[in-house]
Structure 1
Amino acid sequence: MADLSSQAFPVNTPKFWGNEKELVAKCIETGWISSEGPAVKDFEGKLAARCQRRHGIACANGTAALDIAVQALGLGQGDEVILPTFCIISCINQIVRGGSTPVLIDSDDTFNMDVSQIAAKLTPKTKAILCVHTYHFPVDMAPVMALAKERGLKVIEDAAEMIGQTCAGKPCGSFGDISTMSFYPNKHITTGEGGMVLCDDPELAERCRKLRNLCFDPKKRRFVHEELGWNYRMTNLQAALGLGQLEFLDAAVLRKREIGQLYSNLLKGCPGLVLPPDLNKNEKNIYWVYGVELQPSVPADAEEVMRRLADAKVGTRPFFWPMHEQPVFLQMGLFKGLSFPVAERIARKGFYIPSGLALTNEEVTEVARRVRAVMEGLSG
Structure 2
Amino acid sequence: MFDYETLKFIWWGLIGFLFIGFAITDGMDMGVGGLLPFVAKKDVERRVVINTVGAHWDGNQVWFITAGASLFAAWPLVYATAFSGFYFAMMLTLFSLFLRPLAFDYRSKIDSLKWRNNWDKALFVGSMVPPLVFGIAFGNLLLGVPFGFDSLMRVTYTGSFFALFTPFTLLTGVISVAMMLMHGSTWLVMRTDADVAKRSANIGLVVALVLALCFILAGVMVWQSVDGYVVVSAIDTMGQAQPTIKEVTTGSGAWLTNYNETPILWLIPVVGIIAPLFVALFLSIKSKSTTIKVLSFVGSSLTIASIILTAGIAMFPFVMPSSSIPSHSLLMWDTVSSESTLGLMLVVVAFFVPIILGYTIWCYKKMWRTVTIAEIEQNSHSAY
| Structure-1-length-normalised TM-score | 0.23
- Richer in strand (by share): 1
- Richer in helix (by share): 2
| Structure-2-length-normalised TM-score | 0.23
